[in-house]
Chain A
């Protein structure tokens, strides 16, 4: 995919060129194509536009706002040459294997801890597998081992189940365990 070219310019050259990306709050970001391409969504847009791509007029991103895109770009810059990540399953427990993160990545999530939900949504929309899976894992880390009450409180989730319904669910939870 990386060898394909837009504008008839070969890939390494194209990666060094700038593209303007406009977020939904009308902020313009000038980004190297090689960095923007970490997002499959943006990469597809660049390829679809092909010949007609006007690098200066910009690519619109109607679902992402400036402050979040800024954070996303930080990730893309760091991961522009990173290999694709693979989702794996433990063959014994059949549970998802957790990714091991680099120091830089750990630091990144420490810094943006209160924006994990936005990052997950943005990464999902922009199709950045590494950011998407890692953010989801971070969110899972926060849910793991908590009681339903704690989870509700932590994420401000409305409790819309009646006590009877909860009792019912607990019954089914127990029914299918040895």
Chain B
């Protein structure tokens, strides 16, 4: 072996002999493009690059204003698309359900990204699976910073998703969210979204919480309700901030709702001098424990003045109430149906 060293032999197999530490040192001198090239050389080189803090720190963290996760049924893959408004960049990456098993596959990519808003869109036909959400949670945790302010689900089928995976996602980002929106969700059951999820939100941060157009698996009326109870409302108002709420099919009751309004009006009356907050709203739809009659009674008991209006086209039984502070111009709008 010693003799062969003297020969001008080719550098065959040298890479195999070198410890990762030495390769990492060599690679750390290289520019970003060379490093990217190395990832395609072979598995070993890729592994050295992908697992090296020293090397990855060359790459700036890219701020994506929005990340949209979709499922393309005709092509049978998920699309992760992010865009940055300032640089007017948009990038897409695809992954098949099969590939989701490899929960490190995009390590290199996510390691350099930071997402401001995360949006799940058009995940119909059971495509919002536990696998894809697990995969994403794993990858979000690779981001140097995962602090999105906005999380939304739009046109999404919840029927196969385990509520604990939604807990997992909120564990990563719940405390940073300012907006949490679910719009046009279907395949729901009472646990799909529940108190435990709401309690993962940060009551100091959250400004808007909406759930609209919720459709349930069951067609039985009393089963078409989410296990979101008064507990959630207590949690949300606990920090003295009052997010704008739109709830549907929840177990929230009328008294807690009135208390929410009462507290907000008191706060608004106090704060009116130094803030511009003049109005607020709360919408409750299809919540079995909420009714106009009880609401009106509660208001009278609490000495809350209100005015009532019903829409002209009475196709929807929606009732709108406006509650106000008598000595200031703040008002609170409530819609019930």
Q: Give A contacts to B, CB under 8 Å.
A: 25, 65-68, 93-96, 98, 114-115, 117-118, 120-121, 124, 132-133, 136-137, 139-141, 143-148, 151-152, 154-161, 166, 168-178
Contacts and interface: CB of A to CB of B under 8 A. Distances in A.
Interface of B: 1-2, 5-6, 8-15, 17-19, 21-22, 25-32, 34, 36-46, 57-60, 62, 84, 87, 89, 91-94, 99, 105-106, 108-109, 112-113
Given A155-B14, A156-B13, 14 more contacts: A25-B2, A98-B29, A115-B5, A117-B18, A120-B26, A121-B17, A139-B26, A140-B28, A140-B30, A151-B37, A156-B12, A157-B41, A171-B94, A173-B39
A144 B30 contact: yes
B59 A160 contact: no
B38 A143 contact: yes
Contacts of A173: 36, 39-40, 108
B46 A169 contact: yes
A93 B28 CA distance: 13
Interface of B is mostly: mixed
Contacts, number: 139
Given A114-B9, A144-B30, A172 B40 contact: no
Given A133-B25, A136-B26, A172-B93, A65 B5 contact: yes
B58 A140 contact: no
Contacts of A139: 26
A117 B36 CA distance: 22
Contacts of A178: 62, 84, 87, 89
A107 B112 CA distance: 40
A67 to B, nearest CB: 5
Contacts of A171: 93-94
A172 B106 contact: yes
Of B15, B32, B37, B58, which is in contact with the most chain A CB atoms at under 10 Å from its CB?
B37
Contacts of B43: 160-161
